Amino acid sequence: MNGTIIFMLIGMAALVMVNVPIAVALGVVAVAAIWIAQGSHMLPNAALVMFEGATNFPLLAVPLFVFAGGIMNASSIARRLINLATAILGFIRGGLSMVTVGASMFFAEISGSAVADVAALGTLLIPAMKERGYSKEFAAAVTSSSASLAIIIPPSIPMILYAAMAQESAVKLFIAGIIPGVLGGLGLMALCYYYAWKYNFPVEQKFQLTRLGTALKEGAWALVMPIVILGGIFGGFVTATEGAALAVVVALFIALFIYRDIDMKSLYTACIDSAIQTAVVMLLVAASALVGVFLTESQLPQKLATAMVTLTSNPYMVLLLLNIFFLVLGMFLHSAAAIILTVPIVLPLIHQVGIDPIHFGLVLTLNLAIGQQTPPVASVLIASCSIAKSDIWATTRANLGFIGVLVGVLMLCSYVPWLSLVLIQMFYG
């Protein structure tokens, strides 16, 4: 069995290197392993497992949250949130960069996809920042980092994926993300303020209560969304999956009947985009179920955990090693793929050294958020650079301070589990 596992790992790495889709690479090595280990008559099992793997009930929340985000993107929600954030933060020096952070945090509550956030907010805010004298690298960097931070603020697709793979509560993970998300947002804003003084960025507008009132009135329904969704989920009225369906219904209601700014063509496009994004993630999940059969039989995760514990059983050391591992992995792997591939392998280790799996889920998501900022595989950063028309490496240099803030939040959350677990203790006792 060990030989089969080594063959699978090498085969998969080779296929991924030549740009075979990761889901296909997983499937091919698993099918080859079935053929070698059990004979060709067992191949129909592959079709059965691939079907079962895609019927993972908790993951129904993925298409629904993505669909709700698509509807929001197609309507004027982004613009209204930016207006509101500008009314609140525009009077501070460098306020436009803070508006980017603030709008991302609001938007995260709705869409759950960092690339979609960058596209929706960046196309409006990056040109505005460039017009106001911000360098294009800085504009791209702040947009990219704040969109990545957004994946730890609920609802979060990576968190839903982790919860399904680790068989943990997605709602508890959502709650765990609140304090770190707010801390990260404040940290990014503080850094924006420092840069604003250093580079003499302008003040956007004087603070006016009337302007704030108008922005609040225009954006009130956009603010109702997260209150209804998260209130419903955290209040225990709906499950995460039902909350996602509620998000779609509320988003449709607001876009069609309140703002009346979404046409059928945009709605149809939102349907298709959501279906594609779901399929891309779910095919990975289904293919990983095939590999999972071998992982279970080989006891590889348990053996790795035992080997690791002989080196160190200190949970903080284990977290340090895993942080390094996931930060490097995030440079090369999409966050969904990283979660699906690694969680089944590292989970026994997490349990063995006594790390809370919810705490670990948050730490993992934060690592992958930072991974979205580090080339070569940095989908969020690349999207941001495309909008700003800036060089990826020059933007990465401008982004170092923001990455530093994200790493600081990661370290805090890794070594002060209280930050992610205190609200769960308050909610669940």
Partner 1 sequence: MKTFRHFYNRLLEAIAAILIVAVTAIVTAGFVFRWSGHSLVWYDEVAAISLAWLTYYAGALAALRGAHIGFAGFVNSLPAQWRVAATLFSSAVTIFFFALLTWTGFEVVKILKGDTLVSIPEVSLQITQSVIPIASAMFVLAELLRLPDLLEEARRGPLVDHEIQEALEHGKIAAREHRK
Binding to partner 1, residues 227-256 (CB under 8 A): 238, 241-242, 244-246, 248-249
Binding test (CB under 8 A) with partner 1, winner from 4, 135, 214, 269: 269
Site string for partner 1, 200-219 (x = CB under 8 A): --------------------
Rounded-to-integer distance, Cα 35 and Cα 57, Å = 29
Tell me if 33 contacts partner 1 by CB under 8 A.
no
Q: Is residue 85 close enough to count as binding partner 1 by CB under 8 A?
A: no
Task: Round to whole Å and give the CA distance between 53 and 186.
Answer: 39
102 CB-near residues (< 8 Å, 6+ apart): 85, 88, 89, 185, 189
Stretch that binds partner 1, among 90-98, 112-120, 153-161, 169-177 (CB under 8 A): 112-120
User: Which of residues 186 and 256 has its CB atom nearest to partner 1 in the complex?
Assistant: 256
DSSP 155: S
* Interface segment toward partner 1; rule CB under 8 A; list 1-9, 74-82, 130-138, 165-173: 74-82
H helices, E strands: number in the chain: 21, 0
298 binds partner 1 (CB under 8 A): no
Q: How far is CA 405 from CA 138, 187, 192, 347, in A?
A: 15, 6, 11, 27
Does residue 73 belong to the site contacting partner 1 (CB under 8 A)?
A: yes
Question: d(Cα 348, Cα 298) in Å, to the nearest integer?
Answer: 14
Q: Distance between CA 142 and CA 152 in Å, rounded?
A: 17
Number of residues near partner 1 (by CB under 8 A): 80
Number of other residues whose CB lies within 10 A of the CB of residue 296 = 12
Is 345 among the residues that bind partner 1 (CB under 8 A)? no
Which residue, 69 or 226, is less far from partner 1 as judged by CB? 69
Q: Does 67 bind partner 1 (CB under 8 A)?
A: yes
Give min distance, CB of 336 to partner 1, in A. Answer: 7
Q: Where in 355-394 is the site for partner 1 (CB under 8 A)?
A: 376-377, 379, 382-383, 386-387
Is residue 9 involved in binding partner 1 (CB under 8 A)?
no
φ, ψ for residue 235, nearest 5 deg: -75, -5
